[in-house]
Amino acid sequence: MNTQGRILVVDDEMGIREGCRRVLAEEGYDIDLAEDGNAGLRRALEKSYDLVLVDLMMPGIGGLDMIKKIHEIDPEIIMVVITGFATIETAVEATKRGAYDYLPKPFTPETLAVLVKRGLEKRELRLEAQKLHQEREQKLLELAGEKSRLRSIIGCMADGVLVTNLERQLVLWNASAMKMLRLHGTDEPGKPPSHYIKNQPLIESLEKIMDSKDDSVSMISQEIPSDDQKSVLMVQMAPVRDEQGRLLGAVTVLRDITKLKEIDKLKSQFVSMVAHELRSPVAAIEGWLGLLLSGEVEKDEEQKRQWLWRAKERAQSLLALVQDLLEINKIEAGKIALKMESVQVTDILGKIVEFFKPEADKKKISIHIKSSAPLPLLQADVQDMEKLFINLISNAIKYNVEKGSITIETSLDANYAGIHIHDTGIGISRDDLPRIFDDFFRAENGKTDKISGTGLGLTIAKKIVDSHFGRIEVKSELDKGSTFSVYLPCRI
């Protein structure tokens, strides 16, 4: 029964107190009584009341002071003043101080019951309003938090973001978008996009998205050049709609794909170069076979045999080329997983020199290893080291002269172990020198025509050295010879 309301009656007249209790208890309220202001305040501190009936004139703390003190405890408590001096002034004064209403003495039980009932309803409304107010405050706070969180997230993105509203005004953008599009005048809000964006294709797409009457345009994805033509931007644009599908604006996401484009171009160039290099030997083999099968030439068997040998040589060079391409592929893939172990490079050099001896002997080339500085064990991939020095030593033989020589020396400083392969061959011209590590580059002059090669040997050598964080250097003089120096990192 006490759920209807908790009421405190403060009056120094016992008759009034008891009278109020009787009337209100009958209505089902929870009643407490206090005989003066101090007792009333103590009760109000112990228990929360919905309504307080207070006598205006009491010894000690008077009714007007009570209103103030009770409201300090809970401003929403309904205060009803009981007064025997029912003048307009006291009533006005009490209301001014926050009383809800006043009850002039003497009063009937009905008047009391009606007034209390109204007061309690008022209390209910006030509490409801307060709750709503608090909720709204909370919502606003959350919204502000959400907005600033959204701004922070968008601000951190490497991709550019632009949001425009229905009036085609720029309402949200981030630093990346500003940089990519060189947005102008973002400190003057509320202008059309063209005020900020100078990129015509982007503005046209934005118009297209905003003009779409139905759902037909759900997204535009296009590549556009930046204003200075130096970079390429990938643009994704989509309309923003509410739950009913009504257009609210558009969101644009920009990504700088310049680097990707460059890589793509390099890849195409490499593929086209490889295709050409592969095609030449295949075309020559096909040519020889076509010639032999066509019967358009009347030649003796010996001549035909020679042509078959020519075809076979081209097939061999094709095979070597494919092998080298696979090798390059393997090194590039293996950059992630080199099999590093302790390696004595001098031992590897010794084995390779032994292996190439027959070939060197054919050209009467002598090979010396001068271990001028004993090398420590290096951390390296053994197979890669073999490939590296096989390529360099085989070049030193191929591009050497009859009765020439090859000298292999070592050197050591605080950081690097050096291996120097010096030959007395045809050398490399000043013009060709910067290009020798390029894919498929082969020095072309009268002396190299007869030497077969894929043009990838030094590419492979450089890739191996790079993958070991070393460096490769060349010194060369035409007709005198070349020195290839490999420096590999070592920790002594």
Partner 1 sequence: MKAKGKILLVDDDPDFLEMHKAVLENRGYEVFTATSAQEGLGRVRVEMPDLIVLDLMMEKHDAGFSFSKTIKTDPLFRKIPILMVTSVAEATGYRFSFEEDGYWMKTDDFLNKPVPPEVLLETVDKLLQKREK
Rounded to the nearest whole angstrom, what is the least distance from the CB of residue 297 to partner 1 in the complex?
A: 4
Is the CB of 281 or the CB of 425 nearer to partner 1? 281
In this structure, the number of other CB atoms found within 10 A of the CB of residue 444 comes to: 9
Q: DSSP characters for 391-435?
A: HHHHHHHHTSPTT-EEEEEEEE-SSEEEEEEEE-S----TTTGGG
Question: Cis before residue 104, ω within 30 degrees of 0?
Answer: no
Q: Are 471 and 465 in contact (CB under 8 A)?
A: yes
Closer residue to partner 1 in complex, CB, 251/284: 284
Q: Which residue's CB is nearer to partner 1, number 87 or number 280?
A: 280
Q: Which is nearer to partner 1, 229 or 294 (CB)?
A: 294
Query: Which range, of 6-14, 17-25, 43-51, 268-276, touches partner 1 by CB under 8 A?
Result: 268-276
Stretch of residues binding partner 1 (CB under 8 A), selected from 22-30, 34-42, 269-277, 396-404:
269-277
Q: Nearest approach, Cβ of 459 to partner 1 (angstroms)?
A: 19
Nearer to partner 1, 275 or 414 (CB): 275
Burial class (CB in 10 A: 0-12, 13-18, 19+), 59: exposed
Cβ closest to partner 1, residue 144 vs residue 297 = 297
Nearer to partner 1, 428 or 464 (CB): 428
Copy the structure tokens of residue 284.
């020559």
Closest Cα to residue 182, out of 123, 226, 118? 226
State the minimum distance, in angstroms, from the CB of residue 300 to partner 1. 12
Q: To the nearest 10°, the Cα dihedral for 140, 141, 144, 148? A: -160
Pick between residue 387 and residue 398 the one whose CB is nearest to partner 1: 398
Q: How far is the CB of 430 from partner 1 (least distance, A)?
A: 17
Q: With respect to partner 1, which residue has the nearer C-beta, 150 or 266? A: 266
CB of 456 to partner 1, least distance (A): 17
Which one of 71, 310, 330, 471 is in contact with partner 1 (CB under 8 A)?
A: 310
CA 366 – CA 363 distance, rounded (Å)? 9
The contact mask relative to partner 1 for 279-308 (x = CB under 8 A, - = no) is xx--xx-xxx-xx--x-xxxx-------x-
Find, among 122, 88, 89, 83, the residue nearest to 103 by Cα. 83
Binding piece for partner 1, criterion CB under 8 A, among 28-36, 122-130, 271-279, 468-476: 271-279
Instruction: Give me the residues paired with residue 238 across strands.
Output: 251
Q: Is 393 exposed, middle or buried (0-12, 13-18, 19+ CB in 10 A)?
A: buried
The b/e string for 124-150 (b: 16+ C-beta within 10 A; e otherwise) is eeeeeeeeeeeeeeeeeeeeeeeeeee
DSSP characters for 130-157? HHHHHHHHHHHHHHHHHHHHHHHHHHH-
Binding-site size, partner 1 (CB under 8 A):
22
Q: Which is nearer to partner 1, 176 or 454 (CB)?
A: 454
Q: What is the CA radius of gyration of the chain?
A: 48
- Give the pairing type, strands 471-477 and 30-34: unpaired
d(CA 347, CA 408): 12
Residue 325 or 353: the one with the smaller Cβ distance to partner 1 is 325
Return the residues of window 443-482 that contact partner 1 according to CB under 8 A.
444, 449
Q: Least distance from C-beta 272 to partner 1, angstroms?
A: 6
Q: How far is the CB of 322 from partner 1 (least distance, A)?
A: 16
In whole angstroms, the minimum distance from the beta carbon of 290 to partner 1 comes to 5
Token readout for 55 is: 């006598």
Interaction pattern, residues 311-340, with partner 1; x per rule: CB under 8 A: ---x--------------------------
> To the nearest whole angstrom, how small is the minimum distance from the Cβ of residue 258 to partner 1?
24
Least spacing, CB of residue 276 vs partner 1, in Å = 4
Nearer to partner 1, 117 or 442 (CB): 442
Give me the long-range contacts of 128-132 (CB less than 8 A, separation at least 24). 130/76
Using CB under 8 A, which of the segments 121-129, 270-278, 349-357, 373-381 binds partner 1?
270-278
**Nearest approach, Cβ of 291 to partner 1 (angstroms)?**
5
Report the C-alpha gap between 334 and 323 in whole angstroms.
16
Check residue 435 for interaction with partner 1 (CB under 8 A): no
Taking the C-alpha atoms of residue 287 and residue 314, their distance in angstroms, rounded to an integer, is 11
Shortest spacing between CB 306 and partner 1, in angstroms = 9
Which tokens is 326 given?
A: 């696979």
- For 181-185, which contacts have Cβ atoms below 8 Å and span 24 or more sequence positions? 181/226, 181/227, 181/254, 182/227
Residues forming contacts to partner 1 in the complex (CB under 8 A) are 272, 275-276, 279-280, 283-284, 286-288, 290-291, 294, 296-299, 307, 310, 314, 444, 449
